[in-house]
Chains A and B, each alone.
Chain A
Amino acid sequence: NAGVTQTPKFRVLKTGQSMTLLCAQDMNHEYMYWYRQDPGMGLRLIHYSVGEGTTAKGEVPDGYNVSRLKKQNFLLGLESAAPSQTSVYFCASRAGKINTGELFFGEGSRLTVL
């Protein structure tokens, strides 16, 4: 079972460059989330989506944009990367109406901004 798949796994950017992280889930989940993980700071919510075509800001949305054009995909974009965006990014999904509250995570995407 694929579950939640993130691409790419690793990326190095120069300041000012742009990129998109792709998250794909095959569990037909309604809700999808993007988190960033920094040492000693746990997981912080960047943006989330409660369904196809909808997105909303999380705790730390500045500098990021997202799109959910298809139910199974949730894209995270950096328009002009900054060193402060060096982090490990995790995508997660969750069932909608009937669920246990459990988030299913991808393996993470490690981004370094020079």
Chain B
Amino acid sequence: GQQLNQSPQSMFIQEGEDVSMNCTSSSIFNTWLWYKQDPGEGPVLLIALYKAGELTSNGRLTAQFGITRKDSFLNISASIPSDVGIYFCAGQGNTNAGKSTFGDGTTLTVKP
């Protein structure tokens, strides 16, 4: 089946620093989504991307849909303590049911 490689697995940064994480796939996706999971909760959507090359921002977050449709990245600028959590990328192919394949997640720790 489809697999996503998400990196890095974890990051420890100082407050105010910028963060970058990415996902690569062995298959083409039609939609890339980035989610954040806070402790004890389910993932919540941050950004959705629908076209190859698309660059989308949501506040301090910026994500891009790779030209090859096999990769995506997420940047967080000027990190703050509440950015702590697990970030997941997810890809959706052109199949029925819109099933999402998730990366293994990037655990972000922000030191005040």
Contact = CB atoms under 8 A, between A and B. Distances in A.
User: A and B, one complex?
Assistant: yes
Interface of A: 4, 31, 33, 35, 40-45, 48, 50, 56, 58-59, 90, 92, 94, 99-103, 105-108
Interface of B: 1, 4, 6, 9, 31, 33, 35, 40-45, 48, 50, 88, 90, 92, 96-105
A75 B15 CA distance: 42
Nearest to A96: B98
A101 B42 contact: no
Contacts of B42: 4, 90, 92, 105-108
Considering residues A4, A99, A105, which has the most beta carbons from chain B within 10 angstroms of its beta carbon? Answer: A105
A70 B91 CA distance: 28
Nearest to A91: B42
B41 A107 contact: yes
A42 to B, nearest CB: 4
Nearest to B42: A105
A72 to B, nearest CB: 17
A105 B44 contact: yes
A57 B102 CA distance: 16
A4 B41 CA distance: 12
B104 A99 contact: no
Given A43-B88, A101-B92, A102-B45, A48 B9 contact: no
Contacts of B48: 100-102
